[in-house]
Amino acid sequence: MSQPKGTYSITTPIYYVNAAPHLGTAYTTIAADAVARYQRMNGYDVAFVTGMDEHGQKVADTAADKGMAPQEWCDSMEPAFRDAWKDLDISYTDFVRTTEPRHQRSVRKFWQELHDKGYLYKGSYEGWYCVHEETYYAESDLEKNDDGEFVCPDCKRPVQLMASGEENWFFKLSDFQDKLLALYEERPEFIRPETRRNEIVSFVERGLKDLSISRSTFDWGVPLPFDEDHVAYVWADALIAYLTGIGYANAAADGGDGARGDEFERRWPMQYHFVGKDITRFHCVIWPAMLMAAGLPITHTVFGHGFLLTKGEKMSKSKGNALRPADLAGIFGVDAYRYYFMSDVQFGADGSISMERMVQVYNNELANTWGNLVSRVTNMTKKYFGSKVPAAPADAAATKDNPLRSMADALYVEYDGAMALVDFTKAIGAVQALAARVNLYVEESAPWNLAKDEAKAGELAAVIYNSLEAIRIIAAYLAPFMPNTSAEVFRRLGLNDVFAIDDIAAACAWGGLPAGNAVEIGDPLFPRLDVDAIDMDME
Ligand code: MSP
């Protein structure tokens, strides 16, 4: 193993336990996994934090509806998340539950520090609150329903007027307006994509109110150390999970066992928080202000991705159109499922998804291009070289007229640049362009004709070697998106574990495939699918 380039840390939101994972939450999680897997192959020491957001009124209410204690309800949901992520091959490094003692320590330490620094004060609050979104709204932002009730502008459910006289702790968010605007100015990459940045800048320019960070009328939360009758309000609890996931408040002095050593110092600040566009504001306004107040550096980029839409509507469980990830994985396989969402939905934009389109992408890009390429070249290797990687003569087409090599050599820079910017569509497109080129190269070179002519044996060996070598490189670059298929292609080429790669640029240098390796044919990687035979709709 070569020396790591440094740390690279990424998070998904900490998901509410109320709903089991659906395509929307799986989307963020798969994207984060592709980054985590790639940056490991690229030599970084990666942390990938996900988890469950377990506190707050909504969870307490749901538990009560089910006749369970809140903790019992949360515990019962953990397997739904862990299993879903296991089934989708998510390689997270930490799964934070906000009810864990280590997270409670984080929340208490964090707010104690802000209290000590004078950023908190106690005041009374009267205002509108949506339990479903766990968010306060200004009256001017609310809408009215047919009965004339105020409803939440996001989920359209009636909002509650928080009792006047309830004392809350407030964080002096309004002190941070100028500092936040300076942050957005100095670090334009802090909020991506650009459209989200513009929304946030104009929101902050309109002025910020102080933020209520605690509640005393219910107790399903982390008690604040300086006022134990108050529990941290959901976002003041959940955001801190990002710190917990890399070992914050784990030192003996904080009451922890110290087992994670200096991990927090090494990993903070992180490279990315991946969030949906609906929660970008919490991550781009409240969170950096909290970090500034705590004297901690700020995450490099908050990336607010778009929504998955079916027939133009946001998919969500409450609208009854939430498919389970396992349903789709059952039809397409986990890898093709991951591939579709990462390649066909531009990360950052909303994306309409449909079964028809998914089958089309599957058949064109996976069955016909990538899967077919692997089959035909491994078949020819068997036929012409007894299933052994042939040695390409140094002076033959291997080096001279080899259009694959120049393309493969240019791939790292293009792919790595796209992955650094989390433009998955572009990264995958660059790899698929090579796959399409290899298919064309095989057509142009017509190995079946070369095989008829003894004098062309060297050329035939070169064509097969070049094609196999390109397949090896394509498999390596597709591995972050399709981990199982790439592992299988490496196995069929007689190579070691693709995820043992920790310097992908070096590993993909042309000529890395050893001549003489035994090549296996195997079943088609992506058997063609017929959309009419699929009895399931995304709506
Ligand atoms: N608990 C908070 C996050 C706290 S992070 C410190 C939360 N949880 S959530 O379970 O509601 O998270 C949902 C995440 O899934 C959000 O990022 C949201 O944008 C995303 N999605 C939910 N439905 C979606 C789609 N239809 N499409 C894409 N993502 C969407 O918010």
Q: List CB contacts of 67: < 8 A, sequence separation 6 or more.
A: none
Question: Which residues touch 471 (CB under 8 Å, ≥6 apart)?
Answer: 373, 374, 377, 438, 489, 493
Measured distance CA(432)–CA(458) in Å, rounded: 28
Ligand 1 centre from 284 Cα, in Å?
Answer: 15
Nearest one of 526, 524, 530 to 367, comparing CA atoms: 526
In sequence order, the 6+-apart residues with CB closer than 8 A to the CB of 533 are none
In 161-240, alpha helices (H) = 177-186, 194-205, 234-238
Residue position matching structure tokens 């195997």: 522
Mutate to test the pocket of ligand 1, among 10, 18, 28 (most ligand atoms within 8 A of CB): 28
- Structure token digits, residue 32: 């984060």
Neighbour count for residue 132 (Cβ, 10 Å): 18
CA distance 387 to 375: 12
Say how far apart CA 510 and CA 167 lie, in whole Å: 66
Cα–Cα distance for residue pair 107/240, rounded to 1 Å: 6
The predicted pLDDT at position 146 comes to 87
Q: Which helix (H) or strand (E) holds 391?
A: none
| Ligand 1, atom nearest to 16 Cα | 10
Dihedral over alpha carbons 12, 17, 19, 22 (to 10 degrees): 20
Instruction: Identify the bridge partners of residue 303 per DSSP, sorted by sequence position.
Output: 192, 274
pTM, rounded to two decimals: 0.94
Residue pointed to by tokens 């998901």: 15
**Which residue out of 307, 316, 317 has the highest number of ligand 1 atoms within 8 Å of its CB and is therefore the one to mutate?**
307
Nearest CA to ligand 1 atom 15: 25
Residue 59: which of 50, 49, 69 has the closest Cα? 69
Cβ 103 vs Cβ 240: under 8 Å = yes
Cβ neighbours for 152, distance < 8 A, ≥ 6 positions apart: 130, 132, 133, 135, 137, 142, 143, 158, 159
Per-residue pLDDT of the chain (539 residues; tens, 9 = 90+): 556 789 999 999 999 998 899 999 999 999 999 999 999 999 999 999 999 999 998 899 999 999 999 999 999 999 999 999 999 999 999 999 999 999 999 999 999 999 999 999 998 877 788 888 777 787 888 898 888 889 988 888 888 887 657 789 999 999 999 999 999 999 999 999 999 999 999 999 999 999 999 999 889 999 999 999 999 998 999 999 999 999 999 999 999 999 999 999 999 999 999 999 999 999 999 999 999 999 999 999 999 999 999 876 666 555 545 678 998 999 999 999 999 999 999 999 999 999 999 999 999 999 999 999 999 999 999 999 999 999 977 755 445 568 999 999 999 999 999 999 999 999 999 999 999 999 999 999 999 999 999 999 999 999 999 999 999 999 999 999 999 999 999 999 999 999 999 999 999 999 999 999 999 999 999 999 988 878 776 76
Pocket of ligand 1 (CB under 6 A): 13-16, 24-25, 27-28, 53, 238-239, 241, 275-276, 278-279, 307-308, 314-316
pLDDT on residue 163: 67
Which pLDDT belongs to residue 401?
65
Atom from ligand 1 closest to the CA of residue 308? 27
d(CA 393, CA 453): 17
From atom 5 of ligand 1, which residue's Cα is the shortest distance away?
13
Number of H helices, E strands in the chain: 21, 20
Number of Cβ within 10 Å of residue 313's Cβ equals 12
Rama region for 261: left / alpha / beta (φ>0; ψ in -120 to 50; rest): left
pLDDT value for 534? 81
- The total number of residues written for the chain in this structure: 539
Angstrom CA distances, 217 to 18, 120, 168, 222, 379, stand at: 21, 19, 10, 13, 69
- Supply 389's token pair: 């990687």
Q: Rounded to the nearest 10 degrees, what angle do helices 70-87 and 325-332 cross at?
A: 20
Model pLDDT, residue 397: 44
In this structure, are residues 452 and 462 in contact, taking their beta carbons and an 8 Å threshold? no
Neighbouring-strand partners of residue 49: 11, 94
Of ligand 1's listed atoms, the one at least distance from the Cα of 15 is 10
**Nearest atom (ligand 1) to Cα of 275:** 17
